[in-house]
Amino acid sequence: MPSAIKGDSIFYRLSFTSAILIFLVLIGIILSLIDGGWLALSEFGPGFVFRNVWDPVNSEFGAASAIYGTLVSSLIAIVIAIPVGLGTAVFLAELAPDWISRPVSMAIELLAAVPSIIYGMWGLFVFAPWFSEGFQFWALENLVGLPLIGHWFDGPPIGIGLLTAGIILSFMILPIITALTRDALKTIPNVVREAAYGVGATPYEVITRVLLPSIKNAAVGAGILGLGRALGETMAVAFVIGGANRIETSLFMPASSISSTIAQQFNEATNEMHISALISLGLVLFVLTFIVMGAARLLLRKR
Amino acid sequence: MPVRKLKNYAFMGFCTFCALFGLMVLASVLYSLIGKGISGMGLHVFTELTPGPGSHGGLKNAIVGSLILTALGILIAAPLGVLAGTWLSESDKSSKIAEALRFLNGMLMSAPSILVGLFVYKVVVVTTGSFSGWAGAIALAILALPIIVSTTEEMLRLVPTTLKEAGSGLGAPRWRVITQLCYRAAGPGIVTGILLSVARITGETAPLLFTALNSNFMSTDLDKPMANLPVTIYQYAMSPFESWNELAWAGALLITVFILIINILSTALPRWIKARKAAK
């Protein structure tokens, strides 16, 4: 039946071409970032990554402040989201009865469906004023004097800034971390729990010494996946980080991340060097997320 | 042993607190979204165009634009994604190319969406010389593609081999087995994947900033900048005008309700189809 064979080969080619498209798009993204950022990269060299200037007026650019903002805000996000996410996952999978766990799980998944721009608005209009009057004033009175960490809180209590961005990011990645670790906990067979309780262990001991170690890979993978999301998140950060391209030791000061800098400045950038510098920032972000997400995928695959 | 018990209670308390904390954040987000969104809501939101600085108006052009961009994005991504997913599911599991493509698909899924915006800006906007609805739709399509690819592959892999063997046994060529048997069996799952990708791209803002841009006019011309809800929300929320802020909240409520409905549909639809099949 030659017609059937012809149909098969057409279908195969169509589907294979579509599959190759994934590769082409990804290569296209990399090439367009390199091409678009070439002007800035060749002007400032590999040192672009470490240069701490961002001066569109004099066409002097360096990525250090944006990278700093991205890394610090993402770090704050996972420092909050990993323990809270783990705790929630344990509560849902191990402690709560089904009639609580089911609706709460659904509610947490609902958090994941809310688009990031809404977290940004909520952060700016609801969280920031509350945070400024509550925590920031308190911190200025009580934490600034502390050794080592005191200067983190030495800044204007304006509600927005690096710390606020990190906290909003942590709310955004919380559902992912919770869902992945809860699912991993659910895959552990019940006999393991029964055996552990059988020797007289408390829930705390069963969970921290038996269950959590056995899902270590999945939990670490979930954390890294959350970190990857936080690194690339744009809108939630653009609202609350303040948009200042400086490196400050205080977490209360306005700052900027890679993605928020691109989002806020791209359409206003008029000279070519500025546009190119912004696209080079995109390339830096791509490399950062590629490393982090690659690591997460490797960890999540090995069960 | 009181120390062990104490530790245990502290731990259980911590976990419960964490769950409550997550719920509190959700409640606060929903509370402000509904509270502030409803007060800005009204018929004018759907019938009037986006206003100039400080004046009153609605979101009609942004709503229409968003619907067009999302629909077009899905129309581009769905056939390509389903075909690519089919190729992956039909390929040998240990095939190196398939494995590499699966990995790249994962990378594309987690690539920051703003980079997709930059890519489409370089390829479409710079080439054609203007921001356009097409550019926006292509950016959204790229974001939807990997989700559709991976759900399609998963769903097709769940189709029992016996079904395919039965089809092939009747002398049907492979493409007929796939399109007429496998797609039918995996259909509800594939539709779920497409719906999930709709939910994902509806709220995307960053990739539209440099592709579709925004517009204060009613336009369905895909060669021109196109109004859309996310960018309008961003611009209006960041503005100092009270009336614009109100519209931003109304738009945010609209988008969230839409996404929730799509999410509910995506879980309810396969069940509903199954129930109907069982009733037959």
Neighbours of B173 (CB within 10 A): 17
Q: Which range among A51-55, A141-145, B142-146 shows the weakest confidence by mean pLDDT?
A: A141-145
What is residue B270's predicted lDDT score, i.e. its pLDDT? 80
CA A216 – CA B251 distance, rounded (Å): 41
| Count of helices and strands (H, E) across chain B | 13, 0
Per-residue pLDDT of chain B (280 residues; tens, 9 = 90+): 678 888 888 888 999 999 999 889 889 999 999 999 998 888 888 888 888 877 788 898 999 999 999 999 999 999 999 999 999 888 877 788 888 898 899 889 888 999 999 999 999 999 898 889 999 999 999 999 999 999 999 998 888 888 888 888 888 888 888 888 888 888 888 999 999 999 999 989 999 998 988 888 888 888 888 889 999 999 999 888 888 898 999 999 999 999 999 988 888 888 888 788 777 7
For residue range A165-180, what is the model confidence (pLDDT) as tens digits? Answer: 999 999 999 998 999 9
CA B233 – CA B255 distance, rounded (Å): 10
Tell me the average pLDDT across A284-300.
Answer: 85
DSSP tag of B180: I
Choose the closest CB to B19 out of A26, A33, A92.
A92
Measured between beta carbons, which residues in chain A are less than 8 angstroms from residue B105? 22
Judge: A239–B90 Cβ closer than 8 Å, yes or no. no
What is residue A3's predicted lDDT score, i.e. its pLDDT? 66
Which of B3, B96, B107, B123 is the best mutation test for A, with the most CBs of A within 10 A?
A: B107
Cβ atoms B59, B50 nearer than 8 A: yes
Judge: A125–B14 Cβ closer than 8 Å, yes or no. no
Q: Which residues of A185-199 are buried (b: 16+ CB within 10 A; e: fewer)?
A: beebeeeebeebeee
Cβ atoms A65, A246 nearer than 8 A: yes
* Number of A–B residue contacts, CB under 8 Å: 251
List C-alpha distances in Å: B251 to A110, B28, B48.
Answer: 18, 18, 13
Distance from CA of B106 to the nearest CA of A (A): 8
Measured between beta carbons, which residues in chain B are less than 8 angstroms from residue A104? 19, 23
Judge: A19–B84 Cβ closer than 8 Å, yes or no. yes
Measured between beta carbons, which residues in chain B are less than 8 angstroms from residue A36? 118, 122
Distance from CA of A29 to the nearest CA of B (A): 5
pLDDT band at A1 (very low <50, low <70, confident <90, very high): low
Task: Please tell me the pTM assigned to this model.
Answer: 0.91
Distance from CA of B280 to the nearest CA of A (A): 31
What is residue A303's predicted lDDT score, i.e. its pLDDT? 46
Tell me the average pLDDT across A57-61.
Answer: 86
Distance from CA of A71 to the nearest CA of B (A): 15
Judge: B118–A111 Cβ closer than 8 Å, yes or no. no
Cβ atoms A164, A127 nearer than 8 A: yes
Cβ atoms A3, B126 nearer than 8 A: no
Cβ atoms B259, B204 nearer than 8 A: no
Tell me the average pLDDT across A8-16.
Answer: 85
Torsion over CA: A81, A82, A88, A93 (sign)? positive
For residue range A209-266, what is the model confidence (pLDDT) as tens digits? Answer: 888 888 888 888 889 889 988 998 999 999 999 888 888 878 888 888 999 999 999 9
Q: State the first-to-last Cα distance of chain A, in angstroms, to the nearest integer.
A: 46
| Count of helices and strands (H, E) across chain A | 14, 2
Measured between beta carbons, which residues in chain B are less than 8 angstroms from residue A11? 174-175, 178-179
CA A216 – CA A184 distance, rounded (Å): 9
What is residue A4's predicted lDDT score, i.e. its pLDDT? 63
Tell me the average pLDDT across A88-95.
Answer: 90
3-state secondary structure B119-166: HHHHHHHHHHCCCCHHHHHHHHHHHHHHHHHHHHHHHHHCCCHHHHHH
Judge: A22–B108 Cβ closer than 8 Å, yes or no. yes
Which of B11, B36, B127, B190 is the best mutation test for A, with the most CBs of A within 10 A?
A: B11
User: Nearest-CA neighbor of A128 among A90, A91, A96, A157?
Assistant: A157
Helix, coil or strand: residue A115 = coil
Q: What torsion do the CA atoms of A118, A122, A125, A130 make, to the nearest 10 degrees?
A: -170
| The two structure tokens encoding residue A229 | 């999301």
Chain B residue nearest residue A80, CA to CA: B18
What is residue A7's predicted lDDT score, i.e. its pLDDT? 79
What is residue B94's predicted lDDT score, i.e. its pLDDT? 77
Q: What residues contact residue B212 under an 8 Å CB cut-off, 6+ apart?
A: B65, B69, B131, B132, B133, B135, B136, B137, B139, B225, B226, B228, B231
Judge: B252–A225 Cβ closer than 8 Å, yes or no. no
Judge: A204–B260 Cβ closer than 8 Å, yes or no. no
Judge: B205–A117 Cβ closer than 8 Å, yes or no. yes
3-state secondary structure A218-249: HHHHHHHHHHHHHHHCCHHHHHHCECCCCCCC
Judge: A15–B90 Cβ closer than 8 Å, yes or no. yes
Judge: B29–A7 Cβ closer than 8 Å, yes or no. no
Judge: A267–B179 Cβ closer than 8 Å, yes or no. no
Choose the closest CB to A113 out of B33, B86, B263.
B263
Judge: A15–B26 Cβ closer than 8 Å, yes or no. no
Chain A residue nearest residue B99, CA to CA: A19
CA A162 – CA A72 distance, rounded (Å): 8
